[in-house]
Amino acid sequence: MKRSSFITTTGMATLLSTALVTHVQAQDAGFVSRIDLKANQIPIRIVKNDEAIAQIPAHFKFVTPGKLTIAVSALSSPPLSLLADDNKTIVGSDADIARLVADGLGLELKLVPASWEDWPLGISAGKYDAAIFNIAVTKLRKEKFDFATYRIDTLGFYVKSTSKITSINKPEDVAGLKVIVGSGTNQENILLGWDRQNRANGLPPVQPVYVTDDAAANLSIQSGRVDAFFGPHSIGAYKAALTGKTRMVGKGPTVAYVAVTTQKGNGLAQAISTAINGAIHNGSYAQVLDRWGEDDEKIAQSVVNPPGIGD
C-alpha cells in the first residue's frame, strides 16, 4: 500500500491489542523457515538505470571512483545484516538493497562494516557515500542528512519466552523495567519519552540498558538481568523464530520510513531514490524483501526526504 506521508500513530495503540500481537507471533512462527540462508547468499543483480545515472550530480566525487561506498552494520543483526558461510561476506536485506542501488547507478558496490555511532560522522566527513543502517527518517536528522526511502520500519518489544510480561504497548507498561535499547536511536527516544511521562505520573522509572554486542543482549535477556528488548521488529522476530527463547509482547507507537542516508545537499539522494524505484518496478526490490521475510515492510515508491518523526 502506498504511504504518502509519515505515519503518526495516536491510533496505533488501538491496533496494538493482544489480538494483533498474537496474530503477528503466529506469522513469525514461520519467519525463519521462509528464509533460505544458503540461497540468499547469491546476489540479486539488476542492470544499470540510465535515469538514475543521469541524476548523479556532474561534479559529484565518490569516495572511491567507480564504486559506491556504503556503511552497513558491523554487528550480526539478521535479517538486516549478517555474515555469509565464508565468515567474511556481508549478506542480509541491507546488503541486498545496497547492491540494487549500486547496480542501478552503474557502480561497483563497496560495503564497509561500521558501528551505529560511526555512520553519522562517516557520512559528514565523506568517509562513506551513503549508509544503510535501518536509519529512520526524522526531522532532526533531515537537518544534517538527505534520505532516499526504501522500507517501512516497525519497532517491537521482546521478552524472554517464560517472562510474566504479557503486553508492552503504552508508557505505564515499561514503568520499573530494564529495557535494552540502542543509544541514539528512535526507539531510545520513544522509551525515554515514555519514562518522562511515567515519572510525571509518579510511576517507577524505566532503566534503559545499552549493549553493543548481540550475544550480550541475548544473555542479558535469558539470565533475567533485563526485562525486555526494544528494537527493529524484523530483528526481534528473526531471533524469536530462530530460537524460541523470546517472544513479542508489543509494538512501538510509531511506524517510520527507513532510508538510504547521504550527506546533506550533495545531490546523491535523488539518484539513489530513482535507482530504488527502478528496482521496485522491475520486481527485484520485492524479491529482496520477500527472501528476508520483510515483505510486510515494502514501500510502493521511494521518495527523498519525506515527512518523518518529529515533523
What would the pLDDT profile of 90-119 be if each residue is shown by its tens digit? 999 999 999 999 999 999 999 999 999 999
Q: What pLDDT does residue 130 have?
A: 99
Give me the residue spans of the domains in the chain: 12-33+154-255, 35-153+257-297
Who has greater pLDDT, 267 or 9?
267
When the pLDDT of each residue in the chain is averaged and rounded to a whole number, the result is 90
Q: What pLDDT does residue 126 have?
A: 97
Mean pLDDT, rounded, for 218-247: 93
Cell of 177: 523495567
Q: Does domain 35-153+257-297 have CATH number 3.30.70.660?
A: no
Confidence of residue 254 (pLDDT cuts 50, 70, 90): confident
Confidence of residue 141 (pLDDT cuts 50, 70, 90): very high
Strands 145-160 and 228-232: antiparallel
Mean pLDDT, rounded, for 184-198: 96
The Cα 81–Cα 71 span in angstroms is: 11
The Cα 196–Cα 203 span in angstroms is: 10
Of 205, 305, 218, which Cα lies nearest the Cα of 257? 305
Q: What pLDDT does residue 32 have?
A: 57
Cell of 281: 518496478
Q: What is the sign of the dihedral through the CA atoms of 189, 190, 193 and 199?
A: negative
Q: What pLDDT does residue 34 have?
A: 65
Let me know if the fold of 12-33+154-255 is the same as that of 35-153+257-297: yes
Alpha helices in the chain (DSSP H): 12-15, 18-28, 50-54, 93-104, 118-124, 139-142, 186-200, 214-223, 233-243, 268-282, 284-291
pLDDT, one tens digit per residue, over 15-72 is 333 333 444 444 444 555 568 889 999 999 999 999 999 999 999 999 999 999 999 9
Mean pLDDT, rounded, for 273-286: 99
Q: What pLDDT does residue 212 have?
A: 79
Confidence of residue 13 (pLDDT cuts 50, 70, 90): very low
Q: What pLDDT does residue 18 have?
A: 37
Select from 3.20.20.10, 3.40.710.10, 3.40.190.10, 3.40.50.300 the CATH code of 12-33+154-255: 3.40.190.10
- Asked if pLDDT for residue 206 goes beyond 90, the answer is yes
